Amino acid sequence: MESTVLRAVDLSAYFGDNCVVRNVNLAIYENIVTTIMGPSGCGKTTLVRCFNRMHELVPDTKVEGKVFLREEDIYAINPMVIRRRIGMVFQRPNPFPTMTIYNNVIAGFKLNGLNLSRTQSEMIVEESLRKAALWDEVKDHLRRKGTFLSGGQQQRLCIARALSMNPDILLLDEPTSALDPQATAHIEKLMTELKSGVTVVLVTHNIAQAARVSDFTAFMYLGELVEFGRTEQLHTAPKDRRTEEFLTGKFG
Amino acid sequence: MDRERIKMRVVKDRGFEVMVILLSLFSMVPLVLILFYILRNGFSAISWEFLTELPRPVGEEGGGIANAIVGSFLLVFVASLPAIPIGITAGVYLSENQKGKLPYLLRLAVEVLQGTPSIVIGIIAYLWLVIAMGGFSAVSGGIALGIMMLPVIVRTTEETLRLIPDTLKEASLALGVPYYRTIVKVVIPAGLSGITTGILISVARIAGETAPLLFTAFGNPFMNVNIIKPVNALPLLIYNYATSPYPEWHRIAWGASCILVGLVLLLNLVARIIVGRWKVQF
């Protein structure tokens, strides 16, 4: 049995009075890819934003229940610390436009005022870019602005930026929804390679993508966690009628 | 019949287009005339001596406006010192807090301040600073001008930062960067060209202000760099010399106008270049 890295217990999240995540109980296992799948507006993005305490940054929001990162209650720890241990990549690539590729990768250190020696930072940059499968493409242009890269490369740059902090978990919030099929394939391949070093949580509304890359899948609908299980099992023999309807394209 | 109609429409369309272009060109006429007159009357007055020497007493030929140029720079410096940090801070606050009572009040205050006549700001500076300090001074003039710079800086900062996508801020926060560092190290650098442009435009705006200086900086025929003493400024010198009865002084006033307009044009040009060059692509 896999060991649990992150566990949500009776987790609910609100925008004002509107409950978008209802009583979710979910375990994320170590060093595998877990997909959170569901139609638009089902609360999947909000759920993962509760995992690194980004949800609370939006005014007038509320989180109930608990989230544990290796037995530590993350809502009892400073959010800055949590966000360094749980990295996040967003829907649209968002490299820092004023920074070079090199500085984008180590932005987590620079912006936090953590000083690195030259050799250290060079090592981290190369290692992170290699992990994100971007090194060969950019190693000769490290001093160029990150925004000169193509969309897919920018997204891998953002993955490298998150990986540089050596997080326990990497949250990918629909990382390919703004990319073309080729760049998408590249990132999907990357996700399966990454899991040996980091636990990956992928949010997607793309059923095929969930099937291609993940080991476990959670299906969410209207804020509820409908079903959770091994991807193969959930995709071939769903237990819940709503899961089956979503998989067969009846809605979503 | 239809063909006739279409022809009429095309003719009307053309006519309208020509009218719009003509009226647009007309808006350039005042500037062209101003530049023409100032250059014609003022350019001949400018020489090395004009820029580096002090004014001479009435009746003596020659002399320069060095004291007014230095004074103007001194006033801009004193004005910028409080206005830039306060203006940027207020602009950041407004862009980060769009709703609420305090932002509403602040926005209203900035708008009213922008509409306040400069002479009124001069009188306030006179009452609060000149009387309190016991005399005219560069500081009081600088503060009066600084108050005039504030609304421009606040608004351009707010407008610039509002255009920066939230995803950029989230990228930084998701790396565990504290909020204040995110603002200082990510948001402000991304909006730097807009903020700098706002500062330059605000300086261009105050460089030619005369009214707030009449009872604050007051004017001074000698060179002065002491900020608690009265100081001369280009617009003050123009005002005083142009209203004098001496033709020689009129010539100097034209020359000073030429330099002042040149400086303002230069500031606007630099601002435009910065907008183009430092453009940040998201």
CATH at residue A25: 3.40.50.300
* Residue range A239-252: mean pLDDT, rounded: 87
Interface test with B, best of A69, A89, A96, A158 (most B CBs within 10 A): A96
Measured in angstroms, the CA of A96 and the nearest CA of chain B are apart by 7
pLDDT in tens, A218-230: 999 999 999 999 9
Interface test with A, best of B97, B175, B188 (most A CBs within 10 A): B175
Measured in angstroms, the CA of B182 and the nearest CA of chain A are apart by 7
- What tokens were used for A173? 């919030």
Distance CA A112, CA A84 (A): 10
φ, ψ of residue B233 to 5 degrees: the values are -145, 155
Nearest to B282 by CA among B190, B193, B192, B194: B190
- Model confidence at A252, in pLDDT bands (50, 70, 90)? low
Is residue A252 in some structural domain?
no
Distance CA B229, CA B237 (A): 16
Q: What is the pLDDT of residue A251?
A: 74
- Model confidence at B211, in pLDDT bands (50, 70, 90)? very high
Q: Which of A57, A81, A96 sits opposite B168 (nearest CB)?
A: A96
Share of chain A above pLDDT 90, in %: 89
Nearest to B186 by CA among A112, A124, A91, A132: A112
Chain B interface, Cβ < 8 Å to A: 165, 167-168, 170-178, 181-182, 185-186, 189-190, 192, 280-282
Nearest to B72 by CA among B13, B158, B141, B133: B141
Is residue A172 in some structural domain?
yes
- Model confidence at B61, in pLDDT bands (50, 70, 90)? confident
Alpha-carbon separation of residue A244 from A27, A175, A205, A235, A252 (angstroms): 22, 25, 15, 8, 12
Q: Which of A80, A97, A162 sits opposite B280 (nearest CB)?
A: A97
Cα–chain center distance at B105? 24
Q: What is the pLDDT of residue B278?
A: 80
pLDDT in tens, B169-185: 999 999 999 999 999 99
Judge whether residue B1 has pLDDT over 80.
no
Record: contact B186-A54, CB cut-off 8 A = no
Distance CA A10, CA B105 (A): 42
Q: What is the pLDDT of residue A204?
A: 94
The count of structural domains within chain A is: 1
Count A/B contacts: CB-CB distance under 8 Å.
Answer: 76
**β partners of residue A169:** A86, A199
Q: What is the pLDDT of residue B57?
A: 86
* All residues at 6 or more sequence positions from B26 whose CB lies less than 8 Å from its CB, including other chains: none
- Model confidence at A1, in pLDDT bands (50, 70, 90)? low
Cβ(A108)–Cβ(A84) below 8 Å: yes
Judge whether residue B281 has pLDDT over 80.
no
Q: Which domain does A148 fall in, by range?
A: 4-247
pLDDT in tens, A127-183: 999 999 999 999 999 999 988 899 999 999 999 999 999 999 999 999 999 899 999
Is residue A69 in some structural domain?
yes
Judge whether residue B274 has pLDDT over 70.
yes
Alpha-carbon separation of residue B201 from A12, B20, B238, B270 (angstroms): 50, 28, 22, 10
Q: What is the pLDDT of residue A104?
A: 96
Q: What is the pLDDT of residue B63?
A: 85
- What tokens were used for B279? 């453009």
**Strand positions, DSSP E, B174-264:** none
Record: contact B174-A83, CB cut-off 8 A = yes
* Residue range A120-129: mean pLDDT, rounded: 95
* Residue range B19-45: mean pLDDT, rounded: 93
Is residue A224 in some structural domain?
yes
| Beta strands A216-221; A33-37: pairing state | parallel
Cα–chain center distance at B74? 15
Distance CA B37, CA B34 (A): 5
- Using an 8 Å CB-CB cutoff, list chain B residues near A147: 281-282
The nearest alpha carbon in chain A to B193 belongs to A98
Nearest to A170 by CA among A138, A133, A196: A196
Judge whether residue B125 has pLDDT over 80.
yes
- Model confidence at A35, in pLDDT bands (50, 70, 90)? very high
Q: What is the pLDDT of residue A121?
A: 94
Q: Which residue has the tokens 């569901």?
A: A38
Is residue A142 in some structural domain?
yes
Is residue A65 in some structural domain?
yes
Distance CA B106, CA B251 (A): 45
Measured in angstroms, the CA of A127 and the nearest CA of chain B are apart by 18
Q: What is the pLDDT of residue A250?
A: 80
pLDDT in tens, A76-100: 999 999 999 999 999 999 999 999 9
Q: What is the pLDDT of residue A2?
A: 74
Nearest to B282 by CA among A96, A74, A139: A96
Cβ(B67)–Cβ(B220) below 8 Å: yes
Q: What is the pLDDT of residue A122?
A: 95
- Of the given ranges (A24-28, B57-61, B144-148, B178-182), which has the lowest mean pLDDT? B57-61
Alpha-carbon separation of residue A5 from A27, A28, A139, A197, B275 (angstroms): 8, 6, 33, 13, 48
Judge whether residue A50 has pLDDT over 90.
yes
Q: Chain-wide mean pLDDT for chain A?
A: 93
* All residues at 6 or more sequence positions from A132 whose CB lies less than 8 Å from its CB, including other chains: A156, A157, A159, A160, A163, A190
Residues A127, A128, A131, CA angle at the centre, nearest 5°? 85
Ramachandran region, residue B125 (left: φ > 0; alpha: ψ -120 to 50; beta: rest): alpha
φ, ψ of residue A7 to 5 degrees: the values are -135, 125
All structural domains of chain B: 62-277 (1.10.3720.10)
Cα–chain center distance at A140? 28
